[in-house]
Amino acid sequence: MKNILRPALVLLFALSLLTGIAYPLLVTGVAQGLFPTQAHGSLILRDGQVVGSTLIGQHFTNPAYFWGRPSATSPMANNAAASGGSNLGPMNPALVDAVTTRVAALRAADPSSTAAVPVDLVTASASGLDPHISQAAAQYQLGRVAKARQLSTQVVRGLIDQATQRPVLGVLGEPVVNVLQLNIALDAHSGHAPLN
């Protein structure tokens, strides 16, 4: 028994050191050396203060800012500790009520817009943390934001184009707009107070 137990314990200890300590330290070191921004959460700093992450959406309601996707997380929107979708199916009356309420809020914020409301502005993502909206969702909000900031639509459209992330290799994925980065660019351009 001793001949079997000793090699087994030595192997357990060696593999625990290798896979539980050495490998994680190596991967962490390589990640921090090669990809420091991503390894630390893709944080966005403004005047030395963290204002968010490019990976987690934020809840904006001010008409002078672009609004992101709705979040189904609780107890607050975009709560990274409670990531998850609403799990409401397309036939669920609660989903229909939520979408109807969101469409009404968008219409009330910009009564002059008669365009169809893009679906990503009224439905939550699977994670509830999506930091991106489609180009259509950004274009839908362009008039409201330009009017609230007293900017030309051409200027705001240019900022949308700058904040648009293109598909990888030109074919993998869809073009998306990072809402937080776009709102920071708007503040920088128009000299507004920090994000609220």
Question: Rounded to whole angstroms, how far apart are CA atoms 104 and 145?
Answer: 17
Q: Give the tokens for residue 140.
A: 């839908």
Boundaries of domain holding 23: 1-40
**Are residues 81 and 156 both part of a single domain?**
yes
**Average pLDDT estimate for 95-111:** 91
Residue 55 inside a domain? The answer is yes
**Are residues 146 and 71 both part of a single domain?**
yes
**Are residues 30 and 127 both part of a single domain?**
no
User: Which residue type sits at 47?
Assistant: D
The count of domains in the chain is 2
pLDDT in tens, 136-163: 999 999 999 999 999 999 999 999 999 9
Does 195 have pLDDT greater than 90? Answer: no
Which parts of 23-178 fold into alpha helices (H)? 23-34, 36-39, 93-109, 135-149, 153-163
Question: Rounded to whole angstroms, how far apart are CA atoms 145 and 154?
Answer: 12
**Are residues 72 and 111 both part of a single domain?**
yes
pLDDT in tens, 47-73: 788 888 888 888 888 999 999 998 887
Residue 196 inside a domain? The answer is no
CB atoms within 10 A of CB 172: 8
Predicted TM-score (pTM) of the model is 0.77
Q: Are 113 and 146 in contact (CB under 8 A)?
A: no
What percent of the chain is predicted at pLDDT more than 90? 46
**Are residues 23 and 114 both part of a single domain?**
no
**Cβ density class 136-149: b for 16+ within 10 Å, e for less:** bbbbbbbebbbebb
Does 25 have pLDDT greater than 80? Answer: yes
**Are residues 95 and 25 both part of a single domain?**
no
**Residue at token pair 């909206």:** 133
Residue 59 inside a domain? The answer is yes
**Are residues 103 and 12 both part of a single domain?**
no
Residue 103 inside a domain? The answer is yes
Residue 125 in 3-state DSSP? coil
**Are residues 142 and 55 both part of a single domain?**
yes
Q: Are 176 and 134 in contact (CB under 8 A)?
A: yes
**Are residues 61 and 136 both part of a single domain?**
yes
CB atoms within 10 A of CB 134: 18
Residue 195 inside a domain? The answer is no
Residue 74 inside a domain? The answer is yes
Beta bridge partners of 178: 132
